[in-house]
Structure formats: C-alpha cells, structure tokens
A and B are shown apart, each in its own frame.
Chain A
Amino acid sequence: MKIDYSLITRRTFLNTLFGGWLVALCSGSAYALLKFAFPTLGKEPDFVVLNTKDFMNIPPNSVKPFAWGGKVGLFFKNANGTSTALKGVCTHMECNITYKPEDKKFYCACHKGWFDENGKNIEGPPPKPLEFFDFKIEGEKLIVAKKGIKVELPKA
C-alpha cells in the first residue's frame, strides 16, 4: 500500500525498519563479541629485578635464563668475563635461542639462525640483531632494564 504523497510503500518502510534493526543487532553483537574475544594485551616489561647472587657467579662463556615477562631473557658472561643481558628470542620467528659455548655464538634451532657474541645476525634467516639490555647492581638486586630506561626502585 502506498499513500499518494508518500515516497515509499508501507512494505518498503517496514522492510527497511526491520532490516535496519537486524543489521544494528548483528553488528552490535559482533562488536561486543569481538571485543570480548580479543585479549587485553599486556606489554613487555621495561625492567625486571633479579637476585644478584644467582647471576653474577655464573662461569665465563655461559648463559643463564631469566623470565622477561612471558619471554626468556639471557644473562650472558662471555669468555673474557664481561657480563651482559639480552632478550633470548630469535628476531626471525620468536623461537628461544641457545648459547653455543664451543662456537661462542647464539643459535636458534627453529630455522637455523646464528648470532655472534655481540648479538649480530651472521647466518641464516634472522633479519635483525638480538636485543641487548642494560643492567645494574644495587646490593642484592640485579636490575635488568631495556636500553635507555631509567629505573628507580622504591626505597624500602
């Protein structure tokens, strides 16, 4: 039915109304569901606090893993006795790397990537060098932090 001066029929009006209602309902529900399904992302820590005793006494030419958020960090003492800390995650596909003391290189078993002692990607697919951290010792506390991050622990 169409009234003379109306631009649309009653059927078109109702179809649009119900169609619009359906679209609004579906898109609103989909939005809410996706919002719920998509996790609230944490972020990588800026620094972690470790126990000095556990890490400073490792033998030269070895690494010791620590938790860097959900990833692995490696505390590394090279053959000369110099210590550094780095993220133990391959820059290619995020597999955990391992240190090969006999070659003095870092190695990723997933796609055979190699990094030298300074974390430079020297062989295989890794596109970038490894990420190194700064660390400082405050008594018993060993603070490992991202480069350029200033850490001030509360005094207590």
Chain B
Amino acid sequence: MNCQRLKNWVEERYDVEEIKDFAKKKLVPTHKYEIWYYTGGITLFLFVIQFITGMILSFYYVPHFEHAYKSIIEIVTKLNMGWFFRSLHHWGAQLAIVFLFIHVWSTLLLKSYRKPREFLWFSGFMLLGISIFFGLSGYLLLWDERAFAAVKVATGGAGNLPVIGNFIKAFLRGGIDVTGETLIRFYAFHVSILPLATLFLIGLHILLVQYHGMSVPLSLEKKAHKEIPFFPNLFYKDLIIWLIILGIVVTLATLVPPEIGKKADPLAPAPENIKPEWYFLFLFQTLKLFPGEILGLNGEMIAIILISCGILFFFLIPFFDKKSNRGEKSPLFTWIGIIYFLYFVIMTVFGFVS
C-alpha cells in the first residue's frame, strides 16, 4: 500500500498534527536528580515483559494442585524455550520489585508526593502492594514446599489482624487451610484480578504524571532550571536504559535459572532453613523479633498491628507532611524516609545472614 495514501487515510479521520504538536511541546525538567525519573519507566518496561511472558506461560501452566508442579517441570524441560520464558518471568518480577522499591524511595526522599501529587503517591503505593501480592501469588503457583509454607505464614499473618483478620484469611485461602482451593484462588488473582487492577492503576498513574508534569525537588523548585523536550531527548534515553535492563534480565534468566523445590506436601514439616522471598525478609525478621507473649497479650498480633500501622503511615505520608505541602523544606520527613529505608535494608540483610 502506498504510504502517502495511508497517511492521508489516517489524517482525514484523526487530527495527527495536533498529536505531533503536543509531542513537540512536552517538556521535562532537567537537573542533577533527574536520574530518578527513569526508575518509573524501567518499572513500566519490566511490567510489559511480565505481561508478555506471563501470557505465554499461561498456555501451558495447569492450575491444579495435582498437576501444577509437574506442568512447570514440563515447561522448563520439554517445551521450546520454556526454561527461558519461565526464567525471564522470574527475573523480570525480581527486578520489577527492586525498581519499584527504588522508585518509591526516590519519590519519598525527593518529596515528589507533596501537593498536588498525592494521588500519584497513592496509586503508586497501591501498585507496589499489588506487585508484592503478584509475587506471593505467582510464587504459590509453583506449588513447592517453600511456596506452600510461605503462603501459610503470609495468609496466617493477615489472620492476626483484629476483627477483619479471619475474614481476610479465609477469603485468601478459600477455606480454613492452604489447599488446592488456595492455588486456584491465587491463580485467579495472578492472571486475572491483579493484572486488570494493574492496568487500571498504571493508566491512572501515567495520566496523572502527564497531567501534573514531572515533580521538581523542593531544593531546585524555586531556582531556574532547564527543560528539555520529552521527544526525542528523554524518550531515547529511556529506550537506551530499557535495552540495558533487557540485557540484564536476559543475562540473569540465562545464567541463573530459578530453582524449584520439592513438591508441596501438606503433611510434611516445613523445610529446614526456610526463608521467604527477599522482599518479605524484613517482615519475616520483624516477626522473629517478637516473643510469643508481651504483657499477657498475643505477641504476633501486636507485631502484625505495628507492621500495619507502619505501612499505613507510609501510605498516608502526603497528608502528614504539611511542610513540604507548603513548599518548605521538611527535614523531619527526610529522616522518617531514611529510617524506613534503613529499617528495610538492615532487616533484609539480617534476614539473609541469620
């Protein structure tokens, strides 16, 4: 088909000039902290990889407790490139969580959540929560010993919340215990409910970024700073970084394929030296700190309530940080951010070595 004719065909129906004009006019600030702007794009790119690899893995995976484990073994041993896509899905997920954490902490420390971008923070935080639930649910689909114990602890932990705890626990498990019902439920979360919620929230998140523009850190906001066009300057840089990330994921997927443990057996004891995924280690370590009983109260319930409060405070930070909302420097919240960060890092390292 003639290209000119195709162009005309489109132009007769859509105002292409307007779109081009918009792309030309889109400017983004440039300054010494701009490197943190890329973390969002990297996460988006990794999510695209997750969606694509996940879709093709679902052609072969069987979400039933008797067949799930075997179907994964077959994916990695018998199918063309199966080992590669399973490994890519695993490493894509790991890196997505890493970059989500970097993204959330750079947002926190640069105070990009401040007025008027509260909803960007909330939608981003929800995406982080969803991603972690993605991790947990995807992990159970392996139906191996470690996943089985991890899901027992995670859902049981939610059961310790007062009042709504038992409701959440039963809802997640699909019964009173972790069984084949839980596997099907987590499969539904993993391939249908969470992806749809993610698409919606990513759409909202990007729309809001577009609406508000990129946030400039407080210290630079009032000074004059340069702006560069998004197309092509920043967009090409994004592409370069995505290519590097793709290289890293593919290298990891090829050289460090994820392991599969023994098939889950509800009657077998929890495996020795069991540890959760690294992004749960700080919670795991916190739970270990609490004794069974504190002043006659249930220790684990207190631990879960404290953790929930910590997470809720983190979520609502844009409302608590009044100073940065007024455009003033807010060192208190910088320190709070650093404390959260250090707690996470130190507990994770502790979890690794202990």
Say whether, besides A69-B177, A70-B266, A127-B298, A112 and B170 are in contact (CB < 8 Å).
no
Q: Which residues of B contact A39 (CB under 8 A)?
A: 170-171, 173-175, 181
B288 touches which of A69, A121, A125 (Cβ 8 Å): A125
CA gap between A95 and B171 in the complex, in Å: 19
CB contact list, A43-73 vs B, under 8 A: 43-44, 65-67, 69-72
Binding stretch for chain A, among B41-49, B73-81, B270-278:
B270-278
In B267-297, the 8 Å CB interface with A consists of 267-274, 284, 287-288, 290-293
Tell yes or no: A130 within 8 A of B by CB: no
Q: B158-187 vs A: 1/0 string, CB under 8 Å?
A: 000000000100110111111101000000
- CB nearest to B179 among chain A residues: A70
Residue of B167, B176, B266, B291 near A72 (CB, 8 A) is: B266
In the complex, chain A residues whose CB is within 8 Å of the CB of B271: 109
User: Judging by beta carbons under 8 Å apart, are A38 and B149 in contact?
Assistant: no
Task: Determine if B299 and A127 form an interchain contact, defined as CB atoms under 8 angstroms apart.
Answer: yes
Q: Is the CB of A98 within 8 A of B267?
A: no
In residues 64-108 of chain A, which contact B (Cβ within 8 Å)? 65-67, 69-72, 88, 92-98, 108
Contact B287 A70 (CB under 8 A): no
B273 to A109, Cβ gap below 8 A?
yes
Interfacial chain B residues near A67, Cβ < 8 Å: 266-267
> How many residues in A have their beta carbons less than 8 Å from beta carbons of B?
33
Within 8 A of A (CB), among B253-276: 266-274
Whether the pair A70, B176 counts as a contact (CB closer than 8 A) is yes
Tell me whether B177 and A70 are in contact (CB under 8 A).
yes
Q: Does A88 contact B176, Cβ atoms closer than 8 Å?
A: no
- From known contacts A41-B170, A70-B176, A110-B274, infer whether A125 and B153 are also in contact, taking CB-CB under 8 Å: no
**Chain A CB within 10 Å — which of B174, B181, B292, B299 has the most?**
B292
A95: min CB distance to chain B, Å: 4
Number of interface residues of B (CB under 8 A): 35
> Given A94-B156, A95-B149, does the pair A66, B300 have CB atoms closer than 8 Å?
no
Contact B300 A125 (CB under 8 A): yes
Chain A residues with Cβ below 8 Å from B171 are 37-39
Instruction: Tell whether B157 is near chain A: CB-to-CB under 8 Å.
Output: yes
Chain B CB within 8 A of A111 CB: yes
Query: Please, how many angstroms separate the alpha-carbon atoms of A17 and B177 in the complex?
Result: 45
- Chain A residues contacting B284 (CB-CB under 8 Å) are 111
Once bound together, how far apart are the Cα atoms of A37 and B267, in whole Å? 27
- DSSP class of A's interface residues: helix, strand, loop or mixed? loop
Is residue B205 within 8 Å, beta carbon to beta carbon, of the partner chain?
Answer: no
> Please, how many angstroms separate the alpha-carbon atoms of A39 and B267 in the complex?
23
Q: Indicate whether B152 reaches chain A with its CB closer than 8 angstroms.
A: yes
In the complex formed, the residue of B with least CB distance to A126 is B292
Question: How near does chain B come to A108, taking the closest CB pair, in angstroms?
Answer: 6
Residue of B at shortest CB range from A43? B176
Residues of B within 8 A of A10 (CB): none
Report if A128 contacts B (CB, 8 A).
yes
Contact: B170 with A42, CB < 8 Å?
A: no
Closest residue on chain A to residue B160 by CB atoms = A93
B288 and A112: CB pair below 8 A? yes
Known contacts A92-B292, A126-B292; A109 and B270 CB within 8 A of each other: yes
Cα–Cα, bound, A121→B300 (Å): 14
Q: How far is the CA of A101 from the CA of B149 in the complex (A)?
A: 22
Q: A92-B292, A121-B292 are in contact. Are A110 and B153 (CB under 8 A)?
A: yes
Contacting residue for B300 out of A69, A70, A72, A127, CB 8 A: A127
Nearest to B166 among chain A residues (CB) is: A41
Min C-beta distance of B232 to chain A, whole Å: 46
B149 to chain A: which residues have CB within 8 Å? 95-96, 109-110
Smallest CB–CB gap between B277 and chain A, Å? Answer: 14
A32 to chain B, nearest CB (A): 16
Q: A38-B167, A38-B170, A93-B287 are in contact. List 9 more A-B contacts (CB 8 A).
A: A41-B175, A44-B176, A67-B266, A92-B300, A94-B153, A108-B270, A112-B288, A125-B300, A127-B299
A–B Cβ pairs within 8 angstroms, 17 of them = A38-B167, A41-B170, A42-B176, A43-B176, A93-B156, A93-B157, A96-B270, A98-B269, A109-B269, A109-B272, A112-B288, A124-B292, A125-B287, A125-B290, A126-B292, A127-B299, A127-B300
Q: Which 3 A-B pairs have the closest CB atoms?
A: A98-B269, A70-B177, A127-B292
